[in-house]
Structure 1
């Protein structure tokens, strides 16, 4: 009888101990999940009022840097050192291209990977496929299609306008085209063909428009990311990084706008939208900060997808339309000194933006 009571007592103790361990494990798991996936109020550096003051400062500082960066190449043509046909402009644009390239590779793509591989997301499908790389690749290919389609469209439009102008200026009995017959074969030369200068201008127009779209897409996201944060430890380095990034990104965009030869009103509109996009994103982030959890699955998915798309667009634009277009040009090939300075500026821009990733 005593032996049976002893075994029953041991059984109860074992059952109670197992229950206690089970409950402890569940609580520790919930605490860990809350620490990883909960709102930012769990952070040691949480200071809503202090972060708000920094974010208001960020709007003013980033707006100023963006405006200055994009307007310098557009309205700086009166200064010799800022003319678009000068070497200083060419070298500075190479530095800006390096900044944009590093933004895509070192800032946007890792952020996308972190969001889309977060432990706060369900394992299926987010842990079974590298979605961040896939979305970046699709965005780069889509940008290629847009780039090609827009170039074809403007070439046909310019050719049509050239033909109409020639027809209007030509005498009534003038022969606009001529045929060279060779048996049953022949070819016709149209009077509305586009010159090399016209083709170059069309490329600059397309590059400026596509670059503007890509920049606006990611500027909103990075602005919201800063605006929703209530941690001064997060906001401070972001202000420095975004100010540096927006200035040189604006310079690259302003250079493309200036090379495209836009009219003053069109150039000002494009510059305006670039300058206000990131501050506008910060303002939106401030408005939703109290109800926003940046570690929620929905927020992580949206942020990760947009960061991936932005990375793909920025990498394509920097490599194809900025770096390749300038570094493979005849001007670069014929000037050894310009090659040295431009490559140095490119690597310095990419390196400087990469170093900033240590803090932001």
Structure 2
């Protein structure tokens, strides 16, 4: 018995040494996994799977772009007939994806990056990632508040009203990528107008103001996602655990593309701005491949685990998390449910399906966070 206990103790000690060495030698996947201080020092080396890494540029370009572009094309193309229920599912599914991305894939990674053992001990004394995320949310709120106050004053000087949630008929609907075009009063629908044509001129103004609000809303969302996508590309280009990470990132970018695309598809814009949803989808599609290309180009000098890289990644992820949290909770979730007349008057079945789609999107994206 003593011999068995002694042998078991030796095995455990050897495994402990192997695990200790592995923790120091194995590189981080960029997804929040720990890495030892041994990886802080950069050593130039040849990366394996180079052909696959190069192919990943084009595979992710196709996957990300199709994920974001398909909802836009499907809703506008006359030859594609997709039921409205499918678009509604994609819209709520996308809301869950965006919120989960903010918490799991951005804020979680930011916490790990700014608590990296490659940084000085001072970085571990305060939750900088959470503070930066909070500051990002407040900055976005203040900017939007100032913009709305300026817009309200501008509209008031022209004798028009401003409805921040787009509930008032004939009012200016300012919020986000979901807002519809402002409906003219009934007398305008009947073609009534004054002799000087002032009634006819007021509708294009409100459409232009609403258009600006929608473009700003989707631009904020795109900005947060684009920062994250570039960092994903850089990580994928130099990470040693390439195969697993590539598969996870492909699903991640496709799901996230569907979330972005479903919002772009619901933008109701005048003909001169019809190109905006397509441009937004293409912009999303090219960011991760560009990040991979940049990482491959700098693979002999770029150390993803260095102190500088950890700080930059942590700060950018924190800012992006704040942007997506504000956009997801305020611009999307609140306006899809709390401020939506359609949803407030919907049946319990429709409401349950919408919530279920949202939770499904959040759940799948959170599950992917286990590997990336």
SS at match of 1:119: coil
Q: 2:308 aligns with which of 295, 298, 302?
A: 298
Of 240-249 and 342-351, the range deviating more from structure 2: 240-249
Q: 2:257 aligns with which of 247, 256, 266?
A: 247
1: distance between equivalents of 2:291 and 2:100?
21
Asked whether 1:342 is paired with 2:354, we answer yes
Aligned length: 302
Which protein shows a greater Rg? 1
Q: 1:89 aligns with which of 87, 90, 94?
A: 87
SS at match of 1:120: coil
Of 314-323 and 137-146, the range deviating more from structure 2: 137-146
Q: CA RMSD in A?
A: 3.5
TM-score by length of 1: 0.72
Question: Could you tell me whether the CA contact under 8 Å between 2:93 and 2:361 is conserved in 1?
Answer: yes
2: distance between equivalents of 1:158 and 1:282?
46
SS at match of 1:289: coil
Runs of at least 5 residues in structure 1 that lack an aligned partner in the other structure: 1-27, 178-190
Distance change in 2, residues 1:291/1:316 (3 Å) = same
Q: 2:363 aligns with which of 346, 351, 356?
A: 351
Asked whether 1:308 is paired with 2:318, we answer yes
Asked whether 1:143 is paired with 2:149, we answer no
TM-score by length of 2: 0.70
2:343 alignment partner in structure 1: 332
2: distance between equivalents of 1:114 and 1:48?
24
Question: Could you tell me whether the CA contact under 8 Å between 2:113 and 2:310 is conserved in 1?
Answer: yes
Asked whether 1:111 is paired with 2:109, we answer yes
Distance change in 2, residues 1:276/1:150 (3 Å) = farther
1: distance between equivalents of 2:194 and 2:116?
67
Asked whether 1:259 is paired with 2:268, we answer yes
2:47 alignment partner in structure 1: 48
**How far does residue 161 in structure 1 lie from its aligned partner after superposition?**
8.7
Distance change in 2, residues 1:354/1:59 (3 Å) = same
**How far does residue 121 in structure 1 lie from its aligned partner after superposition?**
0.6
Runs of at least 5 residues in structure 2 that lack an aligned partner in the other structure: 1-20, 26-35, 161-187
**How far does residue 301 in structure 1 lie from its aligned partner after superposition?**
0.5
Asked whether 1:268 is paired with 2:278, we answer yes
2: distance between equivalents of 1:153 and 1:56?
48
1:286 alignment partner in structure 2: 296
